[in-house]
Amino acid sequence: MNFKMIANIPNWTAKEQFEKVLEEVLELKEAVHLKDNKKIMEEGLDVIQAIFTLFKVLKIDKELSEGLKLHNKKLRKRKWKLEKLK
């Protein structure tokens, strides 16, 4: 997987970026309702990007790698089977 984060974000506030996350979630919900797989993928990735940008606005993006490790550990404790993204 080769996901990139936006490097040149404007001076958005956390509140503004959180509103963007909610906007993207609503667009994803609509795509799911329409059963449009191409749009679902597009909007789902927009949600992920918006959340990663929120991390950047909150200045916690540097901890993303460690956060993912902790999250995966939590999932394994819950007996979820994990697989690598292709």
Within a domain: 82: no
pLDDT digits (tens, 9 = 90+) for 36-84: 999 999 999 999 999 999 999 999 988 888 988 999 999 999 999 998 8
Give whole-number Cα distances, 50 to 55, 75, 81, 84, in Å.
Answer: 9, 23, 26, 22
What the block records as the tokens of 25 is 């979630």
- Residue 68's pLDDT is 87
Residues with Cβ within 8 Å of 75's Cβ and at least 6 positions away in sequence, in order, are 82
pLDDT at 9: 80
Task: Tell me the residue range of the domain where 62 lies.
Answer: 14-77
Between CA 14 and CA 19 the distance in angstroms is 9
pTM score of the predicted model: 0.83
Number of domains in the chain: 1
pLDDT, position 1: 60
Residue 18 lies in a domain: yes
Residue 86 belongs to some domain of the structure: no
Q: Is residue 35, in this structure, part of any structural domain at all?
A: yes
